[in-house]
A and B are shown apart, each in its own frame.
Chain A
Amino acid sequence: MNVIIIMCAGILISKIFFPVKWKHINELMQLICTLLLIFSMGVLLGSREDFLNTITTVGFQSFLFFLFPAVCSVIAVYPLTKIFLNKKKNGKDEI
């Protein structure tokens, strides 16, 4: 919920006074934040005591349990977006 509130605050700020010429700085800041978040996720994973042990013992079963749900989700969602969200391949609205 915090995420949504903060995002709405950003929308409000941009509507009130954020200059369009700062758009590139905004994008660069987003990139830096993104990489820091991914790095911190990696640190948290690597610092788990049983991380390497878990991978070696249940690796194959886990691979199947990641692969099929993820792929089936895409298979289920793609036609739904084509039917209900009316978006073209490049994400623009259909005319």
Chain B
Amino acid sequence: MNTEGSTIAVELNGIEKRFPGVIANHDVTLIVRSGTIHAIVGENGAGKSTLMNTLYGMHQPDAGTITVNGVEQHFKSPSDAIAVGIGMVHQHFMLADNFTVLENIILGAEPTHLGVLSIGDARKRITEIAAASGTHVDLDALVSDLGVGQRQRVEILKVLFRGARILILDEPTAVLVPQEVDELFTTLRHLVDDGATIIFISHKLDEVLAVSDEITVIRDGTTVTTVLPRDVNRATLGELMVGAELPSPEGRESQVGTTVLLKVQGLTVGSGGQRKTVDDVSFAVHQAEIVGIAGVEGNGQFELCEAILGLTAISAGSVEIGEHDVTSSSTRERKSVGVSYIPFDRHREGLMLTSPLWENTLLGREGEPRFVRGPLVNTAEAHRDCNEIIDRFDVMTPSEIVPVFALSGGNQQKLLVGRELSNNPKILIAAHPTRGVDIGAQAAIWAELRRARDEGLAVVLISADLDELIGLSDTILVMYDGRITATLDPATATPKMLGTFMTGGKQEVA
């Protein structure tokens, strides 16, 4: 933890990077000491990733210098950065599922002897590296059989195998449950003790305070300040990061209604030889109720939503919306009786990126009487409606005719949430409604969800942000391996508790 007097591993000076459409970096100054964990915190879109991509050689800065271990560097590509010992662990894993751990680690940097793979050498080296860094993973396991935490370890080993001594970890905890986060931090400490330097990018303040030796705050594309964790707390760090007070998902009194609006019974997806992705799931959502679903990604939440929406075939069970049994209805029929959906991936499932905003807000609602003029689309009304959504949800855009790709992620999400809430649905399935959005947009989306709920909306909320789940939900269900494995009261639930159930812990039946 001794940060004084140690040598400097990375120094960025006056870095400037201009990009059309995104907040670029300007006047960025960063000093990372050797053998420390240096956190970089900032909101989504503050420019953290741009900066790290600069350091990793993904693109060249327009101005400023990069100095690594005392030598000024001009990276043309990531391979230049790798050559001087910089490695990057991406937020989204880049692993080949049907390869073993060992194969994945050496992929792209295969040690050969006279043109023949020398697996034996590779195994020996990886075992040494793993032992030195305190990472334990079965080298012969198939990556497809590994959990998220283990996959991340493989990514780290991959980077170490290429000789990295300076590791950049981009939002490494975003996909982990609390227990896995602890394990990751242990690994990081091991690495640092072994002499490595770690640059840790995050926007989760508690984690940053817990693990880092120094913290640099980045806001609106520039470095605001560098602080020591002992000099700040969560609130002050948050204020530095946002430039204002942090919003919180909590604080409300809800009146859960008595009418059941959504009833799912014995829902099962996948049968016979297939793995059951959703296995005998039953729950009900009442009027003015938010039911949160916690779970590590890939435990059936996606398939559950698709099944409720009628987007995937079910093998058993039923879905009832209000009085209607919609088990065999089409997606459009379900939507027309009042189901809205904020999908998991807004780019893939939600928006048409190259189409103008107004066509995007019209999508899925083009059959509503107000948007129809005979067989034609009532374009004027669609424009008017889009402008209403823009105003009501504070979508920052010059007009409704710009294509969606020109907006920031947060504004795209607000537009999407606006579309799904604007036709006064009875039921909203909201998957990660605030994923990848800035704090301002997050607060706005939370407020809209709460308001809609108070007006009687029944919400199924799926989120990886456990604070969001606990803060907004009236009931929390935990989904593990396709089943509902726990039902919790958010008043008493803690992220740690959720983490236990999310990784397969059992709830004693009361």
Bound together: no
